[in-house]
Amino acid sequence: MLPVLALAALLPHLEQLAPNVWVAGFADKHGSANCSWIRRDSDTLLIDLPRGVPVADFLAEVHRISGKPVREVLHLTSGKDDAAIVAAIQEKGVKVSVPSTNHTHWLPAQRILFAGPEVVNGPRAPLKGTDTATWITRLEALEKLAPKIVVPGRGAWGDASLLARQKRYLQELRRQIAYGITMGRSVASVEKDLLLPASYYTWMPYDNPTQEDVRHVYSELTTAPKFDSPRPRALVLIGDRFHEPEHLERGLRMAFQTAKVAPHFTVDINQLNAQNLEQVDLLVILRDGMLWPDGPDKPYKIWMTPEQEQSVVQFVNSGRAFLNLHNSMGLYPENGPYLNLVGGRYIGHGPLERFRVEVVDKNHPITSGVSGWSAADEQHTPPYDKQKVHLLLENRSDEGQTAAAGWCYQPGKGRLVHLASGHTREALEHPMYQRLIVNSIRWLLKQ
């Protein structure tokens, strides 16, 4: 970076980032906002609005520093006094542009990213009104630019680690809240126990998530699905006390992308209902039947209601598809229509260890291209209805215990697949298991 410019009277935080590129920072009462400018051939482009300073004086100072008058402003980051500032700028004949989608600006030659609202590096990043999952996706795309300098909308500027920290913060916030929801905990209970590592913050404790932030993410994670994709749709219920949902979503999302299916992931058992099932072609469950709303030291509750059982059975029998994974027969209503539909039952599993999974029927579309593999996993040993389902896979422990590891059949007009593996990242992301899931999805959807 070039030397800091000492102009404390009007711009106490001013720095030249590269030839023809400057940035200025404003005070806490203005949200620690930033405003940058770039000298072009015939004028100067302003990135974001000046805050807390007279607009006319600011424009004159920018003209003096850059040697070119300001003719255009890209308004990326919003603030409470925007209308008055924009009006004052427009009175000076300066065009103010508000991007409709991408609220960032990228200088590829200098590798400088003006991140706008995508990065708040210091003061709290309010989450209300945002889509935090989409926000994370946008940050991942910005990381691929590999910027040398990142100027956030608010807070101190720095290098590409600002993008990584903002992403980490949002991911961890969603992860902890999602895990609380899988346990059946209330938003107040989740809020009370939320604890993010100190490395996820910048200006502790000023950027700690507030009650409003926690409640916003909790609401996001318990919202009914909305689909805008022409692809086949899946409702995917994941996560429980023993299966933290983050790695489950990662592993399953890989398979959905390959199979070209649009998934709606949820950790909220209340989203399994007839109304939501009406919107989808495929139901996927990877979670057990237990809730622990009062904590792991208290008795669990079986969550699936008779109405939910009947909704799943009706969904499949009427012609749709169900992919039942790993522990999704565990601790569900005994002898109920749900377990009767799946065609087996959970009776426990062995220790976490490496074991083999072998293909029993090599001629079925689900096992096409699949060969035996070993992975660290839980060996489930479910009894199954041999008169009803078609066995595809078996697993075998080092001690020689053999059990069913996968089956399929066609209940009513629909289709069902059960795959027993999938406890660990290693098992879920193993190439053979990924191929098996993709093949299962395609068979289930009659592709």
pLDDT category of residue 9 using cuts at 50, 70 and 90: low
Tokens of 96: 């103010």
Note the pLDDT tens digit of each residue in 350-373: 999 999 999 999 999 999 999 999
Distance between CA 285 and CA 272 in Å, rounded?
Answer: 10
Q: What pLDDT, on the 0 to 100 scale, is given for residue 228? A: 87
What is the DSSP track for 47-62? ES---SS-HHHHHHHH
pLDDT category of residue 203 using cuts at 50, 70 and 90: confident
Note the pLDDT tens digit of each residue in 294-328: 999 999 999 999 999 999 999 999 999 999 999 99
pLDDT category of residue 4 using cuts at 50, 70 and 90: very low
Rounded to an integer, what is the distance from CA 399 to the centroid of its chain?
39
Note the pLDDT tens digit of each residue in 279-292: 999 999 999 999 99
Distance between CA 102 and CA 137 in Å, rounded?
Answer: 13
Distance between CA 255 and CA 429 in Å, rounded?
Answer: 9
* 108 contacts 78 by C-beta, under 8 angstroms: no
* pLDDT (mean) for 48-64: 95
Question: How far, CA to CA in Å, does 289 sit from each of 142, 327, 421, 434?
Answer: 39, 9, 17, 24
pLDDT category of residue 1 using cuts at 50, 70 and 90: very low
Segment (H or E) for 66: helix 55-66
* 411 contacts 347 by C-beta, under 8 angstroms: no
Peptide bond into 293 cis (omega under 30): no
pLDDT category of residue 197 using cuts at 50, 70 and 90: confident
Note the pLDDT tens digit of each residue in 249-260: 999 999 999 999
Please compute Rg for the chain using Cα positions. Answer: 27
Distance between CA 115 and CA 117 in Å, rounded?
Answer: 6
The CATH topology of domain 224-444 is Rossmann fold (3.40.50)
Distance between CA 40 and CA 61 in Å, rounded?
Answer: 16
**Residue 205 above 90 pLDDT?**
no
* pTM recorded for the entire structure: 0.92
Q: Delimit the domains of the chain by residue range.
A: 224-444
CB-facing half-sphere around the CA of 318: CA atoms within 13 A: 12
In the chain the first and final C-alpha atoms are separated, in Å, by 56
Residue 404 carries which DSSP code?
A: E
Distance between CA 306 and CA 253 in Å, rounded?
Answer: 29
Angle at 95 between CA 93 and CA 99, to 5 degrees: 165
Question: How far, CA to CA in Å, does 390 sit from each of 187, 386, 401?
Answer: 43, 7, 20
**Residue 385 above 70 pLDDT?**
yes
Distance between CA 19 and CA 15 in Å, rounded?
Answer: 11
Residue with tokens 């402003």, as numbered in its chain: 73
Rounded to an integer, what is the distance from CA 424 to the centroid of its chain?
19
Q: What pLDDT, on the 0 to 100 scale, is given for residue 5? A: 46
Distance between CA 331 and CA 144 in Å, rounded?
Answer: 43
